[in-house]
Structure 1
Amino acid sequence: MPSSTPPRWPRSKTKLALAAAFAAATPVAALDLASQYQAEPHLSPLPRTDAERTRIEAVTAPAADFSAPERFEDLPAGAATVRARPDDEAFSQHSANLSFEQELEFKLGNGLFKKIWVFSPASTLASDGLGPLYNARSCQRCHLKDGRGHVPEQPDYASATMFLRVSIPGPVPPELRAVHDYIGTAPDPNYGSQLQDFSAPGIAPEYKLQVAYEDFEVALNGGETATLRRPGYTAANLGYGPLAKGAMLSPRVAPPMIGLGLLEAVPAADILAHADEEDADGDGISGRANLVWSREFNRIMLGRFGLKAGMPTVHEQSAGAFAGDIGISTPLFPAHAGECTGLQTACQSAPHGGGDSRETEIDQPNMDLVAFYSRNLGVPARRNADDPNVLRGKQLFYDSGCAACHVPKYVTHRLAGRPEQSFQLIWPYSDLLLHDMGEGLADHRPEARATGREWRTAPLWGIGLTQQVSPRATFLHDGRARTLLEAVLWHGGEAEAAKTRVVELPPEDRAALISFLESL
């Protein structure tokens, strides 16, 4: 691609002006995102001054010179950035700007994140309550070394890092009827909202996950080819009867944990500024915000976490994972039987770890420690940012249109109570919005406003260290892509044009683009 091609920036001033005009013309009944759902009760941010807004606009402006790294580009998490370790602990370091006292809090949270839970009743009262149905016995067993999970080995099934979500069509809850395009779903009456493949003694597991692949080749410019694998998923050995009519299944591999607190601290207004639901500028990119109900704050909030941006805060995401993945009750999700449905009577009547001494199997102070740990897993520093080949790949990343969704940088809120995430220039390479990724990646299972073809833009920071941290880790929501190039080639829908440009690149330019991604 010619080097004179101007860099594509996700939302230019023209785009922002068009989006603002569209929002201003949209009736409240049609969901005025900007005015209704920017509240951030989990943050209580300090207002920005005019001078700060001017500084932020300058520092987050698109790259214009690709002959050298941008200022601070080697510190993707700002002052929270950690050194890039050469081993599998690269994602397990605490943010570099924690105080001594916060380091202790982080270590306590780490202990809870790694804790192996056991069935009730047990002599280890602080660790009992597992299941009765579950996908993993600890957080760490899904998020391997705080990184990505992997698909189960076949035919010998032994994995706690991938599962199937399930739902059926259902009504829109009353509290979400203000969201005009919210898609109503309900849990499967027999199986709940996700399938668990492990269980306590005497209780049948819900299923066994089977994955099969069909290989096919994609021709690339320069005589190269790539082999992609198209997955098929089967919920085999169903333990509680058939799935309900209309059941929709979606595979999920555990994502990496780094930088979550910084993503939580990005102003909602800055995320919504990149949304362009009606594609007002006609560039083919129409990112949409997911809007979800927060149990924690009893209100509609912007979704940021999860593969379809279905959770609003780190704490709520963590509590939901305890309930669904491990079967541990929390103050937000207090059901002691976890994901067991009312029809699973043996599961409902099984012993649990709650009681007079503790109302839930993990209490709020310990949940706060887990959330603190999850917010403060450090993002490793960039590698080789000044390498000419990496810089060439960066330019191709912009020229190909990748930055239209993988927005490079933001400045976080000023936060009085969370200085470690406060007013940091960060480089996550995500707009945290929903995009139609085409039929090839569709799961046909909606989640809140997300359709069955939409996914949240995955942050790219740290992606070059993924397989150093966990050698079996693969990419995309279901781990089908074994390499970064395969992940790019699966892009479709709004990303079809960008994918096509990558396919058409000369081999040396395509390799440079991958080198840039590996440097993140």
Structure 2
Amino acid sequence: MRSSLVALVLLAALPAATLADGLDRAVGKALFDRIWVQAPSSTAANDGLGPLFNEKSCASCHSGKALSAKITPLPDGTLAQRGLVTRLADPQGVPDPVYGRQIQPRAVSGLTSEGTVTYALPDEPGGPLAVVFAPSRGDLAAATRLGPRQAPSLRGIGLIETVDEAAILANAAAPKPDGVSGRPRLLEIDGQSVVGRFGWKASAATLDQVTSDAFRLDIGMSSPLAPFPHGDCTAAQPDCLAAPDGRSPEFDGEEISSEMIRLLNAYLAGLAAPAPVEPAPLGAALFASTGCAACHVPSLKARDGGTVAIYSDLLLHDMGAGLDDGVGEPGVASSEWRTAPLASLTFRTGDGRRFLHDGRAGTIDEAIRAHGGEATAAKTRYEALAAADRAALIAYLETL
């Protein structure tokens, strides 16, 4: 009783804005952890899952300290994983006519899933994952390619939205060494051109869009920004399109309301990146001298006039044939990738955490050596370092 009274006194002493933020994040965390169920159900606030889906909750894909994918090699070379999905498209970004943008290997009761997917480690370090898809709804189109994508770290994701768009564009226009270029991905939203900054291909400009797309593709649920109650189902899947949905007037006519998206993003935006540490002089110097900082820019200007330390320029770069999986997006080549922020790298070491877009690299060293294209010169300098200097550079990266 006494502890409860103390808690109430402390809550009453908090500013109203602080208290509201805390409550919003707590509700957002509950939404992040919620296990969604198929419609119709007795609790309308929980239904709408599928009909086809990858997981039943956000937390299923984003787990551990980094809130990212967990990928564990098994003795036979295959991977036990949560948070690894397979995108589908041709090099121009055209989705598969039957399976859509992503393979959903799970389905609600009474419906057939799209099949099973098995992942295996590459034969050579730095090579692509082996993906075996056993389809249950007919063959893929001849031009369709399979692109594994691991759920990224959510630690510090809110920082990305605070970067000033003008700073991204200015950095894109600035001259760079070693043949590095980098370009912004421009998206049309409400008739305006804005810079994409989230996702492996910079496919979203806002955290709202990121969350809405994840609900649609991974969980199969609609929201005002992604009003598709049957998720990624296509016209070639009439049974999926005919399945019941969980749309409700209480949720803006969709399965997930704008308010639910806002609360969930309040939680995501509050996920802290690591506290800054004083960098080891040698590691920080090597990060710059090898050329890593040309793309993994330590900080960018923030909208409020400060700086944001995310270690990314948020631009697209051609990373060469080695990282080209053949899966493009409209206006983005299959070999182009947005520079991955390194701000939460310290949370992504060990415990089934892997690196690069498909998790092919088991260590930071393997990830660097897999770089190509515009990053070739930086990789070459890294490989030419003495072993002690490479270790110092990696130790520095592990503090980010």
Give the alignment's TM-score, normalised by structure 2: 0.89
Letter in 2 for 1:131: G
Does residue 1:456 correspond to 2:338, yes or no? yes
Aligned to 2:182: 287
Partner of 1:478: 358
Report how far residue 214 of structure 1 moved. 3.8
Shift of 1:325: 0.5
Distance 1:153 1:486 in 2: 16
The amino acid of 1:111's aligned partner reads: A
Answer yes or no: is 1:437 the counterpart of 2:319: yes
Indicate which of 301, 304, 307 corresponds to 1:425: 307
> How far apart, CA to CA, are the structure 2 residues paired with 1:190 and 1:474?
31
How many angstroms does 1:283 deviate by? 3.1
Residue 237 of structure 1 aligns to a residue in which SS?
A: strand
Question: What residue number does 1:340 align with?
Answer: 233
Partner of 2:192: 299
Shift of the 194–382 alpha-carbon distance from structure 1 to 2, 3 Å rule, reads: same
1:506 maps onto 2:399 in alignment = no
Superposition deviation, residue 308 in structure 1 = 0.9
> Could you tell me how far apart the structure 2 residues matched to 1:140 and 1:370 are?
12
Residue identity in the other structure for 2:142: K
Partner of 1:409: 299
8 Å CA contact 2:71–2:80 kept in 1: the answer is no
Is 2:14 aligned against 1:134?
A: no
Name the residue aligned to 2:224: 331
Paired residues of 1:150 and 1:479 also in contact (CA < 8 A): no
Instruction: Tell me by how many angstroms 1:298 deviates.
Output: 4.3
| Of 69, 83, 97, the match for 1:161 | 83
The one-letter code sitting in structure 2 at the alignment partner of 1:443 is: D
Q: Which residue of 2 aligns with 1:362?
A: 256
Per the TM alignment, residue 282 of structure 1 is displaced from its structure 2 partner at its CA by 6.0
Amino acid at match of 1:435: H
1:112 aligned to 31, 36, 41, which one?
Answer: 31
Contact 1:132/1:347 (8 A) holds in 2: yes
Contact 2:126 2:367 in 1 (8 A): no
Q: Is 1:257 matched up with 2:154?
A: yes
Cα distance in 1 for residues equivalent to 2:273 and 2:205: 21
The question of whether the paired residues in 1 share the 8 Å contact of 2:93 and 2:327 is answered with: no
2:307 is aligned with what amino acid? Answer: L
Structure-2 change in CA distance of 1:202 and 1:489 (3 Å):
same
State the match for 1:196 in structure 2.
Answer: 104
Distance 1:122 1:128 in 2: 6
Question: What aligned pairs does 1:13-412 form with structure 2 within 5 A after superposition?
Answer: 99-145=18-64, 147-151=67-71, 159-168=81-90, 185-216=93-124, 228-276=125-173, 283-294=178-189, 297-355=190-248, 357-358=250-251, 359-383=253-277, 385=278, 390-412=280-302
Q: Which amino acid aligns with 2:264?
A: V
Q: Distance in 1 between the 2:176 and 2:54 partners?
A: 44
- The question of whether the paired residues in 1 share the 8 Å contact of 2:79 and 2:121 is answered with no
Cα deviation digits, residues 95-136 of structure 1 (max 9, x gap): xxx823211111111111111101122222211111110011
AA in 2 matched with 1:506: A
- Which residue identity lines up with residue 405 of structure 1 in the other structure? C
Kept in 2: contact 1:151–1:478 (CA 8 A): no
| Seq. identity, % | 41
Number of equivalent positions: 380
Amino acid of the residue matched to residue 110 of structure 1? K
- Note the alpha carbon deviations across 1:339-368, whole angstroms, 9 max, x for none: 111221111111221245542111111111
Tell me how large the CA RMSD over aligned residues is: 2.1
Task: Give per-residue Cα distances to partners, 1:142-188, cap 9 Å, x unaligned.
Answer: 1114522034766787644011111246xxxxxxxxxxxxxx53322
Does the 8 Å CA contact 1:310/1:448 hold for their aligned counterparts? no
Q: Give the letter aligned to residue 229 of structure 2.
A: H
- CA distance in 1: counterparts of 2:272 and 2:177, whole angstroms: 38
Measured in 2, the distance between the counterparts of 1:152 and 1:189 equals 32
Contact 2:178/2:374, CA 8 A, preserved across alignment = no
Residue 427 of structure 1, CA deviation = 1.3
State how far apart, in whole Å, the 1-side matches of 2:185 and 2:363 are: 28
Residue pair 1:291, 1:449 contacting (<8 A) in 2 also: no
Distance (Å, rounded) in 1 between the aligned partners of 2:187 and 2:116: 30
Q: Evaluate the alpha carbon distance shift between residue 349 and residue 511 of structure 1 in structure 2; reply closer, same or farther with a 3 A threshold.
A: same
In structure 2, distance between residues paired with 1:147 and 1:353: 27
Is 2:375 the counterpart of 1:495?
Answer: yes
Q: In structure 1, what residue type is equivalent to 2:319? A: M
8 Å contact from structure 1 (residues 380, 462) kept in 2:
yes
* Structure 1 unaligned regions, length at least 5: 1-97, 170-183, 217-227, 415-422
Q: What SS does structure 2 have at the residue aligned with 1:230?
A: coil
Give how far 1:467 is off: 3.0
2:235 partner amino acid:
G
CA separation in 2, counterparts of 1:403 and 1:307?
19
- In structure 1, distance between residues paired with 2:290 and 2:195: 29
Deviation at 1:376, TM superposition (A): 2.4
The 3 A distance-change label for structure 1 pair 404 and 187 is same
For the Cα contact (< 8 Å) 1:168–1:247, is it kept in 2?
A: yes
Whole-Å separation in 1 of the counterparts to 2:214 and 2:259:
17
